[in-house]
């Protein structure tokens, strides 16, 4: 496995002539790798001749007061895990390599970013699309792999790729969970023992909501029941519980084929998100 820190180095390694028609699978991460990231690598390894992983804590997607400075980092451990998983090239740039100057050009993700995490994290998805655009231009991957845990981010990136005719294909990978149901996340290490014991309630509540939705309960009722269970069984503060069409992230309509039931909960030092995707039946009710 090769570790590179510069854009120029990476482009030389991935030059079209060097590739010799080999496909490139790309796994963008912010590091502190866990089984969820490695599941992305596994699928990329199965489907491509070359697997590239980026490890970069992107400052443009963190807002004032968020955890950019304290986001967990361990490059040596990450490199070892990536090598063991079968990554061919790890791209580890620093902030100055990715953002050598402050630019005035901005990317606005639209209505999909106005709900869920975007409602309380102004500018977050602007920063996500900025770094994704740069990474796609640098790596020029044939396929790019994203986990369903960050379902809003995935929906926005899929729209971005489709609307702006990127060459890459976006591949969805299911959320990887702990045995108790908690979604794998780099931020889980920042939970206190008490919070860690409470955190699986998020998935428990979402599963309850999914069952109620499938039984025909209205969206507002489902959201209320999910929120109530989280409030009753955790010490976290709910940012949102929402039921929307997926991947449009708009209110459900009679034509909606899939729905996302999602939540975000703030604990003392960690903000956790989770979601379930629900296949809709014709008879299910829609929100107003």
Catalytic positions, written as ranges: 37
Q: Which residue has the tokens 């039931």?
A: 261
Q: What are phi and psi of 264, to 5 degrees?
A: -135, 135
- How far apart, in whole angstroms, are the C-alpha atoms of residue 166 and residue 79? 28
Q: Please state the residue numbers annotated as binding site for (R)-pantoate.
A: 61, 153
Q: Please state the residue numbers annotated as binding site for beta-alanine.
A: 61
- How far apart, in whole angstroms, are the C-alpha atoms of residue 219 and residue 129? 30
Q: Please state the residue numbers annotated as binding site for ATP.
A: 30-37, 147-150, 176, 184-187
Helix (H, G, I), strand (E, B) or coil at 203: helix
H runs (alpha helix) in 215-283: 219-233
DSSP string, 162-211: HHTT-S-EEEEEPPPB-TTSPBP-GGGGGS-HHHHHHTTHHHHHHHHHHH
DSSP string, 5-25: -SHHHHHHHT-HHHHTT--EE
- How far apart, in whole angstroms, are the C-alpha atoms of residue 4 and residue 94? 11
- How far apart, in whole angstroms, are the C-alpha atoms of residue 231 and residue 265? 10
């Amino acid at each position: 496995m090769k570790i590179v820190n510069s854009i120029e180095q990476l482009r030389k390694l991935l030059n079209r002539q060097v590739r010799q028609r080999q496909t490139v699978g790309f796994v963008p991460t912010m590091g502190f790798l866990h089984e969820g990231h490695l599941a992305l690598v596994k699928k990329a390894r199965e489907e491509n001749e070359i697997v590239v992983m980026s490890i970069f804590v992107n400052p443009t997607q963190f807002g004032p007061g968020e955890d950019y400075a304290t986001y967990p980092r361990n490059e040596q451990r990450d490199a070892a895990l990536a090598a063991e998983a079968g990554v061919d090239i790890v791209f580890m740039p620093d902030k100055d390599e990715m953002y050598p100057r402050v630019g005035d050009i901005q990317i606005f993700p639209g209505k999909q970013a106005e709900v869920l995490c975007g409602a309380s994290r102004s500018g977050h998805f602007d920063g996500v699309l900025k770094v994704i655009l740069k990474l796609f231009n640098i790596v020029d991957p044939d396929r790019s792999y994203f986990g369903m845990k960050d379902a809003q981010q995935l929906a926005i990136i899929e729209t971005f790729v489709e609307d702006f005719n990127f060459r890459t294909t976006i591949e969805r990978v299911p959320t990887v969970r702990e045995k108790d149901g908690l979604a794998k996340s780099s931020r889980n290490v920042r939970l206190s023992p008490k919070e860690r014991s409470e955190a699986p309630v998020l998935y428990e509540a979402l599963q309850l909501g999914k069952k109620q939705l499938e039984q025909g309960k209205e969206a507002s009722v489902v959201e209320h029941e999910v929120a109530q269970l989280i409030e009753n069984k955790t010490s976290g503060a709910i940012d949102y519980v929402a039921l929307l069409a997926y991947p449009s992230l708009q209110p459900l309509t009679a034509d909606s084929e899939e729905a996302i039931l999602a939540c975000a909960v703030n604990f003392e030092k960690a903000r956790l998100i989770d979601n379930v995707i629900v296949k809709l039946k014709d008879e299910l009710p829609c929100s107003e």
